[in-house]
Amino acid sequence: MTSALAPEGDKGEPRSQGLVPRHVAVVMDGNGRWARARYMPRFFGHKAGVDALVRAVNLFADRGVEYLSVFAFSSENWKRPSEEVSGLMSLVLVAVSKYLGKLAKDGVRIRIVGDRSAVSDKLREAWEQAEALTRENTRITLAVAFNYGGRWDMVQAARRAVAEGLAPEQIDETWLSRHMALAFAPDPDLFIRTGGEMRISNFMLWQSAYAEFYFTDCLWPDFGAEEIDRALAAFAQRDRRFGMIRPPVVQAAE
């Protein structure tokens, strides 16, 4: 049976004005290539990626971002070599043990989104501990998508509609949005992908309808303050219309 976080709180709307996005989504790509360039096993790239994430959370928070959602492990990543998958699972446990205290002290609220049924009891317990310890933090919310896929998210919401016996006319965009795995957060304003690829890879398909996209060749372990500022500067230059058109400027008659 699949599971998703229950919706809670005021979801709000994407921020249409202002220089700083309220919610940033990130596909953290390039860990393997980062390690390969240094003649190291891929695992060391993933480890460096965790370190980069901890740095990035605080950098985004310092700049006024309220929500940071990251794609840590997709539902398709199970197809990778078993040794790599096993290493990633172990790395998550190590990362929680190593960084949970720091993140909690830094005011980070942690949420885990995705299908938890396929992971070990030990990993689920670590996630529950992280969420419980940081529940009251308000500086920034870090949503870690693990065993997550955008299509899975829409399917699990649709299944909830069926389970609740809703009639077709009762199901609309608002209902579905409130039953997505990230219903606790506003839709992302800015969607970043590192590593040079220009695709979203099944991440937050529903929520990213009006997000601004930013692609960079920078590999995730190298994604630091300079790259973050560059992405935020690019976002500040975007003209967000949400499907509308901007009225023409009428010159005053002389």
pLDDT tens across the length of the chain (254 residues): 333 333 333 444 444 445 899 999 999 999 999 999 999 999 999 999 999 999 999 999 999 999 999 999 998 888 888 888 998 999 999 999 999 999 999 999 999 999 999 899 999 999 999 999 999 999 999 999 999 999 999 999 999 999 999 999 999 999 999 999 999 999 999 999 999 999 999 999 999 999 999 999 999 999 999 999 999 999 999 987 766 666 554 555 44
pTM assigned to the model? 0.87
3-state secondary structure of 160: helix
pLDDT at 3: 34
Enzyme catalytic residues: 29, 77
Q: Where are the alpha helices (DSSP H) in 75-221?
A: 82-105, 121-133, 150-163, 173-178
Q: Which domains are seen in the chain, by residue range? A: 23-236 (3.40.1180.10)
pLDDT at 251: 52
Q: What share of the chain is helix, strand, coil (3-state, %, to 5)?
A: 45, 15, 45
